[in-house]
Structure 1
Amino acid sequence: MTAGRPAPAAVLPGPWGAVLYECRIAHVRTAPVRNAFTHRTYLWLVDLDRLPALPWPLRWLASFPSGVRGLSPREEIRRYLFGEGVDLAGGRVLMLAHARSLGYAFNPLTVYWCHDRTGRPVCTVAEVSNTYGDRHRYLLRPDGRGRAEAAKEFYVSPFFPVDGRYRMVLPEPGERLALTVRLERDGRSAFTATLRGTRHPATAGRLLRAAARHPFSTWAVSTHIRLRGIGLWLRGLPVHPRPDHDAPTKDSAP
């Protein structure tokens, strides 16, 4: 390899250079009351430099539109990392997320695995969104098993204040997807979310099957969250007021 050139990144399998994961999501709240539910969906793993170009009849099932201020997802994450003092120098970024489907997308958690020009993992970004339209990114430096910690800095659930600490296990996915996010408060586990999935190359047939198994999948995610919130409120769980101003995501690259 010529010195100074990036190592070639392996293209994700499938004609679109992307992966679909058929997933099972589990949420377990252990404090102050116990509540648990599971939900099945499907997620995309994409290379931000090679976003899938679907034929137009399928774009209503999956699209990857520009982000805030019309920036591409790649430019958004580049600017965020620049603001945090990280320069990938053109290295690869893989994103795990819901695509926009039937005109809507909501991702409680979007994960970015960031590499340098040689393909070496540099950092992981966990982007958390709430149902109020806010989002916050956590810059993580996981160990070899994908484990990392971060203080909670963002209002997500009205039934938890902005305190405690996240313990995350976010290894870069392969044939299997296995992610865990645990919130600890006062030294005890208060909430755990797990995501388990099986990889399939993204094809027209696989997308149609996934959409048939999980219709209105992106709508269902936010609906589940809201319905569970109503149930907890009816059980008398106290609501913590939403802060007036959440900390803005750093995004200051030229």
Structure 2
Amino acid sequence: MDAPSLNSALYRAEVMHQRLRPRSHRFDYRISSWLIDLDELDQLDRLGLLNFNRPGLFSFYERDHGDGSDRGLKQQCQQLLAEKGMPRASHIRLLCQPRCLGFGFNSLAVYFCYHADETCFATLYEVSNTFGERHTYVIENTGPEGVPLRQRADKRMSVSPFIALDGEYRFRLQPPGQHFSVLIHYQDAEGPLLLARWRGRRVPLQRKVMLRELLRPPMGLKTLVLIHWQALKLWFKRIPFISPQKTDPYATSVGSGFKEADQHPPSSGRPSGPFSQENVDGNPAQ
């Protein structure tokens, strides 16, 4: 069954992380990602493509996101935009991994907030850790339409026990269309530390495509297993362990855009190696 003219979509995607110091460490893996229009949840449920707030092969629970309550997720986003002095969104689309066979975990989910004319005016980066905490970074899109967005935010929540809380995220974002790309540079007082990339290619939202997804390990379970496996590898490499700083179970903060000239701090020069342009752009996931 094809999805009839839906904004929601399925993406074949891949994730890459590369740490630069004190020892190099890199991993890549393939995942499936969904772009879910929050106005289409009931329709996706009726079509049998994605169960809404109920069990299923693929299911989307609003309490898996936002403040974790049963309050409508779009309502939460609208309130958050208002609190940060931004206009109301005509529609909101969430890039994430819904539950598969009951398993679900999103280390990162991204909300794209649109005006009625399809202008994407704000981005919400929702980061979750394995300690039961979640933080949403709200950033107004100030760049021109049609070019990758460049944004930044101060890190406010511990994510990895091998990276200190103090630091800054730099985002380079291509909103979802036929492809999407989320590139994250993380740097601390000593300079660039980590590069993470999540990118994907749109595929038909069809039942047969989704059934093939069941031949893969559930994405949420796979993500959690890989997080702990990579942590074990870092421990074997004697990367210093840093006790996570506890924060509120759910909090939000505001980031900002930045100019191309400000993308790379003068002290570090223009990036090479993992921060080179080919790693920023690359080819979309196949």
TM-score range relative to shorter protein: 0.7 to 0.9
Opposite residue 31 of structure 1, the aligned amino acid is R
Report how far residue 250 of structure 1 moved: 4.7
Instruction: Look up the SS of the partner of 1:163 in the other structure.
Output: coil
Distance 1:122 1:72, change over 3 A: same
1:211 to 211, 214, 224: 214
Q: Which moved more, 1:60-69 or 1:28-37?
A: 60-69
Q: Deviations over 1:51-106 (max 9, x none)?
A: 22165697422111132221222122223223322231x51111100011111210
Opposite residue 25 of structure 2, the aligned amino acid is N
CA distance in 1, matches of 2:120, 2:72: 22
Q: What residue is the counterpart of 2:60 in the other structure? A: 64
Q: What residue is the counterpart of 2:3 in the other structure? A: 14
Whether the aligned pair in 1 keeps the contact of 2:10 and 2:34 (CA below 8 Å) is: yes
Report how far residue 197 of structure 1 moved: 1.1
2:45 to 22, 47, 53: 53
Instruction: Look up the SS of the partner of 2:226 in the other structure.
Output: helix
> What value does the CA root-mean-square deviation take over the aligned residues?
2.2
CA distance in 2, matches of 1:39, 1:236: 23
Q: What's the TM-score, normalizing by structure 1?
A: 0.85
Give matches, 1:81-160, under 5 Å.
81-88=81-88, 90-142=89-141, 143-144=143-144, 145-160=148-163
CA distance in 2, matches of 1:220, 1:85: 38
Q: What residue is the counterpart of 1:75 in the other structure? A: 75
Instruction: Look up the SS of the partner of 2:214 in the other structure.
Output: helix
Instruction: Look up the SS of the partner of 1:196 in the other structure.
Output: strand
Q: Deviations over 1:194-228 (max 9, x none)?
A: 1121101311111112232x222220011101111
Q: Which moved more, 1:47-56 or 1:217-226?
A: 47-56
CA distance in 1, matches of 2:80, 2:167: 24
Instruction: Look up the SS of the partner of 1:69 in the other structure.
Output: coil
Q: What is the percent sequence identity of the aligned residues?
A: 28
Q: What residue is the counterpart of 2:24 in the other structure? A: 34
Q: Deviations over 1:79-135 (max 9, x none)?
A: 3223322231x5111110001111121011100110124433221011111111211
Give matches, 1:150-189, under 5 Å.
150-186=153-189, 188-189=191-192
CA distance in 1, matches of 2:112, 2:50: 27
Distance 1:250 1:191, change over 3 A: closer
Distance 1:247 1:153, change over 3 A: farther
Structure 1 unaligned spans of 5+: 1-12
CA distance in 1, matches of 2:126, 2:50: 27
CA distance in 2, matches of 1:232, 1:28: 12
Q: What's the TM-score, normalizing by structure 2?
A: 0.76
Q: What residue is the counterpart of 1:4 in the other structure? A: none
Opposite residue 62 of structure 1, the aligned amino acid is F
Distance 1:70 1:246, change over 3 A: closer
Structure 2 unaligned spans of 5+: 254-286
